[in-house]
Amino acid sequence: MVAYLLPVWTRLPAADRMGVAAAVLGAALVALIVGTRMRRGRSRPLFRNPRARRPAEPVDTSWFTAHTLDGFPEEAVRATLGTPAAPSRERLYAAWVLATHTQGTDAVWLEKNLALPADAAHLITEAAEARRRELSAQENRATKARESDQP
C-alpha cells in the first residue's frame, strides 16, 4: 500500500502526517465552499456597503388612499405600450406605488423586478419624482405659513 503514496508523503515522519493531512483537508474544504458560493453567485461582500439601499418603509394604509394615483401618467404610459404583451394595469399601478413610496426604486429596478418596458418605467419614475418634489414643496409652504401665523 505504501507504493501507491506520493514520494513526498512517505518522506514525512509518521507524527507529522496527521497534521499535514488535516491542513490539506481544511484547505480543500475552504476551496470547495468558496467555489460553490462563487458559482451560485451568492458571494457576500466582506463589508456592507454604507451607500446600500435602505430597506423600504413598512406598507400601511397610508400607501393606498383616494389620492394614491394622483399624478399617475396613464395616457403617456399607455401610449408607449402599443403591444398585445403590454403589462397589466395592476402592474403599472404597483410600479407607481413603489416609485412614489420607496426611495431608491428607479426605472432599472422596475424594469427588472416588475418586467416593465424601459419607456414605461422611466415615465413612471420621472412622474413619481415630480410628484415627490411637488408634495415636498407643498409641505414647505404649509410649514412656513404656520410659522408666520404664530406670534
Name, of 7-11, 69-73, 87-91, 122-126, the range with top average pLDDT.
Answer: 122-126
Cβ count near 93 (within 10 Å): 15
Please tell me the predicted confidence (pLDDT) of residue 122: 92
Prediction pTM value = 0.54
Residues 59 and 97: their CA atoms lie apart, in Å, by: 10
Residues 125-138 have pLDDT tens digits of 999 998 888 888 88
What mean pLDDT is predicted for residues 106-114?
Answer: 89
Cβ count near 69 (within 10 Å): 13
Sequence-separated (6 or more) residues with CB below 8 Å from residue 107: 118, 121, 122, 124, 125
Residues 104 and 55: their CA atoms lie apart, in Å, by: 9
Pick the closest to residue 114 from 83, 129, 93, 132 (CA basis): 93
Residues 1-39 have pLDDT tens digits of 444 556 666 676 767 778 888 888 999 999 999 888 877
Please tell me the predicted confidence (pLDDT) of residue 2: 47
Residues of the chain above pLDDT 90, percent: 10
**Cell numbers placing 108:** 432599472
